[in-house]
Chain A
Amino acid sequence: MYSISKDNLNALYSAIAGSYDLFMPIKAAGQTNYGFWSEGAEGDIDTLKTIKSGKDAFFPQVEQLYTVNREIVPADVAAGPEAEKAADTPVRTKLKVNPVKLVDNDFVIFGMRACDVRAIEVMDNVFLTDPVDNYYKSRREHGIVVALACHEPEESCFCTIFDIDPADPSKAKADVATWVIDGKLYWKPITEKGEALTAKISSVFEDDADADSKIDGEKAYIEGIAKQLPNAELSLEGWGADKTDEKFKSEVWEKVYKGCLGCGTCTFVCPTCQCYDIKDYTTKDGIQRYRCWDSCMYSDFTLMAGGQNRQTQLQRFRQRFMHKLVYYPTNNDGMFMCVGCGRCVEKCPQSLNIVKVIKAFADNK
């Protein structure tokens, strides 16, 4: 178990940044968002939740897939004007596709909360099952996840109901587990990746004997708080795998969806949403094909030529929560797609969110 005092965390950051790209919560313009650390950036691990989750590390909001440009192959006009006159002489232009170089250098995601780490697992089930998304795969393999325990969970958190332990990130699939306990950061590598990272930057740490007792004390403190959170006892009864027909036709949706604006806030702040759209962008020298996050709440989400996407806001609203709490568990043997981070609870402009939906169904019985 290693530790480092909180005041010279910057030394830790620059040590990590020395050999890896460091992706961590950075406070800029009054908000804390994940971003690449560089000298002088203000790392912020006190704020419990960043606005957007750390999902960007593995599945960025915008990712260029490949670029295409046109090469003019001089048509066989060399044979003289008559050849040119012949209508059937095709003017041959060749399309050259050049894929984007996949991520091949290791990078560290620092300060990820337990819920976000679980969200990575949720996304792995989607992106890493065949057909494997090798853009995601390359980032996932090169990413070293440093999880951080949540000192004081907020009332919008409800990760415990998905049996995520905010106090002990080592339970989650992270490479390193860290705790911040009164002015000191305790660092416990879990996987070999974690060991390798720790070895690289071990000079920064000092060994700490009574780390375990401190950490147990912290765990007890966090569990104590977690119990008092308003949504601690939220029951997922009635949700999960194979609940489709029961939930789909319920008339509770009619009552709950009315306030929804159809904006994309909940989907863009959610750590587990993984729907994306592929679009083209014409640039100076060809086409740039990129993929970008899409929101099932948007009116033109999955709009096919015939116009058969979900037409009303009720259908879109229902789709979002059914995907989180029914469809995903059905396909992933009961694992819920929601990790209870509470970002949508905080950020929805009309204060509609998954907790209210669960409660509305519970009351309706």
Chain B
Amino acid sequence: MSMNEEKKEFRPLIVAFCCNWCSYAGADLAGSSRLSYPADVKIIRVPCSGRVNPMFILRAFERGADGVIICGCHPGDCHYSTGNYYARRRMALLFSMLEYMGIENGRTRVEWCSAAEGAKFSKTMNEFCEKVKSLGENVRLGDLRCKN
């Protein structure tokens, strides 16, 4: 590893699923208020946090993501009234299973963030990037099976 290789420290790749009504608007507000967070976060817009299928999350990890965060409206504020309640249950079970399989539980997170909470959105993204960076590259979800 040459010298500049050393300097180029590990940059995590983070996929964020943001619900169109609250957290995506929150992300826009963070943007318009110039509240920065690392460029490693890439946001995918979904109609509701209830739309995020565990297949997408595992697909992201399979394709090399190091962290996945799902943002939605605060329970009770969902634009479709119940979307985030189902998402909350699905993610609770999925995260518990991933932890059970030995995957570091810092790699996944759910955050409720309303359209007016630009600051909270940026703070959450900074915290999450820090946490994923400290966990390093996602190796475990990559090779739970040795090559034969």
Contact B64 A60 (CB under 8 A): no
A284 within 8 A of B: yes
Across-interface contacts of A60 in B (CB, < 8 A): 148
Across-interface contacts of B64 in A (CB, < 8 A): 284
Interface 0/1 of A61-78, CB less than 8 Å to B: 100000000000000000
Cα distance A355–B148 in the bound complex, in angstroms: 31
A56 within 8 A of B: yes
In the complex, the chain B residue whose C-beta lies closest to that of A60 is B148
Across-interface contacts of B148 in A (CB, < 8 A): 35, 56, 60-61
Distance from B145 Cβ to chain A, minimum over Cβ atoms (Å): 11
In the complex, the chain A residue whose C-beta lies closest to that of B64 is A284
Across-interface contacts of A56 in B (CB, < 8 A): 148
Interface 0/1 of B132-148, CB less than 8 Å to A: 00000000000000001
- Interface residues of A, count at CB 8 A: 5
Interface 0/1 of B59-90, CB less than 8 Å to A: 00000100000000000000000000000000
Cα distance A60–B148 in the bound complex, in angstroms: 9
Distance from A146 Cβ to chain B, minimum over Cβ atoms (Å): 20
Across-interface contacts of A61 in B (CB, < 8 A): 148
Across-interface contacts of A284 in B (CB, < 8 A): 64
Distance from B72 Cβ to chain A, minimum over Cβ atoms (Å): 29
Cα distance A284–B64 in the bound complex, in angstroms: 9
In the complex, the chain B residue whose C-beta lies closest to that of A36 is B148
In the complex, the chain A residue whose C-beta lies closest to that of B147 is A62
In the complex, the chain B residue whose C-beta lies closest to that of A23 is B148
Distance from B17 Cβ to chain A, minimum over Cβ atoms (Å): 21
Distance from A338 Cβ to chain B, minimum over Cβ atoms (Å): 25
Q: Give chain A interface residues in 162-197, CB to chain B under 8 Å.
A: none
Interface 0/1 of A31-57, CB less than 8 Å to B: 000010000000000000000000010
Q: Give chain B interface residues in 39-73, CB to chain A under 8 Å.
A: 64
Cα distance A56–B148 in the bound complex, in angstroms: 9
Q: Give chain B interface residues in 103-148, CB to chain A under 8 Å.
A: 148
Cα distance A211–B64 in the bound complex, in angstroms: 57
Distance from A291 Cβ to chain B, minimum over Cβ atoms (Å): 15
Cα distance A284–B148 in the bound complex, in angstroms: 22
Cα distance A61–B145 in the bound complex, in angstroms: 14
Across-interface contacts of A35 in B (CB, < 8 A): 148
Interface 0/1 of A5-35, CB less than 8 Å to B: 0000000000000000000000000000001
Cα distance A358–B64 in the bound complex, in angstroms: 50
In the complex, the chain B residue whose C-beta lies closest to that of A284 is B64
Distance from A359 Cβ to chain B, minimum over Cβ atoms (Å): 35
In the complex, the chain B residue whose C-beta lies closest to that of A282 is B63
Cα distance A284–B142 in the bound complex, in angstroms: 14
Distance from B81 Cβ to chain A, minimum over Cβ atoms (Å): 38
Cα distance A197–B64 in the bound complex, in angstroms: 43
Cα distance A60–B64 in the bound complex, in angstroms: 26
Distance from A328 Cβ to chain B, minimum over Cβ atoms (Å): 27
Q: Give chain A interface residues in 283-304, CB to chain B under 8 Å.
A: 284
Distance from A122 Cβ to chain B, minimum over Cβ atoms (Å): 22
In the complex, the chain B residue whose C-beta lies closest to that of A34 is B148
Distance from B1 Cβ to chain A, minimum over Cβ atoms (Å): 20
Cα distance A35–B148 in the bound complex, in angstroms: 7
Cα distance A61–B64 in the bound complex, in angstroms: 24
Distance from A158 Cβ to chain B, minimum over Cβ atoms (Å): 28
Distance from A17 Cβ to chain B, minimum over Cβ atoms (Å): 17
Distance from A76 Cβ to chain B, minimum over Cβ atoms (Å): 34
Distance from A221 Cβ to chain B, minimum over Cβ atoms (Å): 35
Can you name 5 A-B pairs with beta carbons within 8 Å?
A: A35-B148, A56-B148, A60-B148, A61-B148, A284-B64
State the 5 A-B residue pairs at the shortest beta-carbon distance, nearest first. A35-B148, A56-B148, A60-B148, A284-B64, A61-B148
